[in-house]
Homo-oligomer: A and B are copies of this chain.
Amino acid sequence: MKEEYKGTTKLYSRCTEVEAVVLANGEYPTASLPLHILESAPYVVCCDGGADEYIRQGHIPNLIIGDGDSICEENRRKYGHLLHCISEQETNDQTKAVSYLLSQGKRRIAIVGATGRREDHTLGNISLLMDYMRAGADVCTYTDYGVFIPCRNTCTLPCRPGQQVSIINFGARRLHGIGLVYPLSDFTNWWQGTLNECTGTEFTVEAEGEYLLFLNFPIEP
């Protein structure tokens, strides 16, 4: 793991002491930060087929959520006792995993592997972070490129000078940034708040309401 990344979970998110990691059903992480989060997790819930790759890499999940219909035959036989079936058609496996963790009192959750395949799944998985926040989870999604953090009202986060940050508005008002290169406004389209930049070692988004932050990681060597 790159030296620079070592404090990153602490630096970038409120998921400092992650109680559980959800491995979603998108592309398996390749960047060192999400891999590190996955590997050092105290408790791992795999979403259905996501379990196959996790097991192939030599790990055993604590729980597998889903119908079991996208896990390979061998793993279903071998790890069937870890399979927790929730036959609820209204939500996806990522949501089932988060709901399960919340029901177990595990509130500080990191999600990995949620993006990188079908873009409609990516959109769904990212936007569901807002719902998880409303349900009381302290949750972030780590991708190969950065971290998504659902926020409500005014938030201050540590950053590096020059670090890119995108603010995707979910109906918040009176948006105002401190420590950002470009001014914020009450964005009505997703792209309007993308590709801002931090000027110092912390930044603040003043707002009334909900929005999603994306903090870009440094590019890996």
Q: Chain A: residues with CB nearer than 8 A to chain B?
A: 92, 115-128, 130-131, 143, 145-146, 148, 164, 166, 168, 189-191, 194-195, 214, 216
A124 near B92 (CB under 8 angstroms)?
no
> Closest residue of chain B to A116, judged by CB?
B116
> Closest residue of chain B to A126, judged by CB?
B119
Q: How far is the CA of A92 from the CA of B116 in the complex (A)?
A: 21
B123 near A194 (CB under 8 angstroms)?
yes
> Closest residue of chain B to A214, judged by CB?
B120
B146 near A194 (CB under 8 angstroms)?
no
Q: How far is the CA of A143 from the CA of B119 in the complex (A)?
A: 8
A118 near B189 (CB under 8 angstroms)?
no
Residue pairs across A and B with Cβ atoms less than 8 A apart, 12 shown, are: A117-B145, A118-B216, A119-B145, A119-B146, A120-B166, A120-B194, A120-B195, A120-B216, A123-B123, A123-B126, A123-B191, A127-B189
Least distance between A166 CB and chain B CB atoms (Å): 4
Residues of B within 8 A of A191 (CB): 92, 123-125, 127-128, 131
Least distance between A64 CB and chain B CB atoms (Å): 20
B148 near A195 (CB under 8 angstroms)?
no
> Closest residue of chain B to A216, judged by CB?
B118
B119 near A122 (CB under 8 angstroms)?
yes
Residues of B within 8 A of A125 (CB): 191
B214 near A127 (CB under 8 angstroms)?
no
Instruction: Identify A148's interface contact among B119, B124, B126, CB under 8 A.
Output: B119
Residues of B within 8 A of A118 (CB): 145-146, 216
